Amino acid sequence: MLPSPPRLATLDPYTLPKAPLTTQPTPSLSPTFPYTWQSNPYTSKRTWPPHFDSLSPKHRFSLERRYRRRAKLKWARPTWTKGVKLAQWGSILFVTVYGVLFMEGPERQKGVFSGIRKWYGEQSELAAGARGGKVVEDNMPAAAKPTGV
């Protein structure tokens, strides 16, 4: 009779060896402080919050101004403000350019901006001619156009 192969270790949690019981306590995760509030040698110079009734109006105003400035700095969102400003100016510019150059009134009536539109059309034709291209009036794909045979 042949000897049986050695048993491979399994990862069955019921057959794994158990950790020995220890009597050492687990370390505490909360920090320990060497002082209590009664034995603290680093006492504060002023009581906070101060009694506003006992302060002079000048000192009260300076505290309020300091708090207002710190709160304003804390809640400032420069990236968000910049993004909102860019979005607003972009939409204003888009609507203005679209309204002046491309939007047509009812039944193609002449508007206030017809001179600007005419000038813009001439400039775009000149730019297309300088590039060696031509202005295409229709937007039909080249594959769908009939060939002149």
Q: Is the pLDDT of residue 144 over 70?
A: no
Rounded to two decimals, what is the model's pTM?
0.44
| 82-127 pLDDT, tens digit each | 999 999 999 999 999 998 888 877 776 777 888 888 899 899 888 8
Residue 102's nearest CA partner among 116, 92, 91, 90 is 116
**Residue pair 114/102 in contact by the 8 Å Cβ criterion:** no
Residue 111 burial (10 A CB sphere; 0-12, 13-18, 19+): middle
Q: Is the pLDDT of residue 76 over 60?
A: yes
**pLDDT at residue 107, as a whole number:** 73
d(CA 42, CA 12): 57
**pLDDT at residue 91, as a whole number:** 98
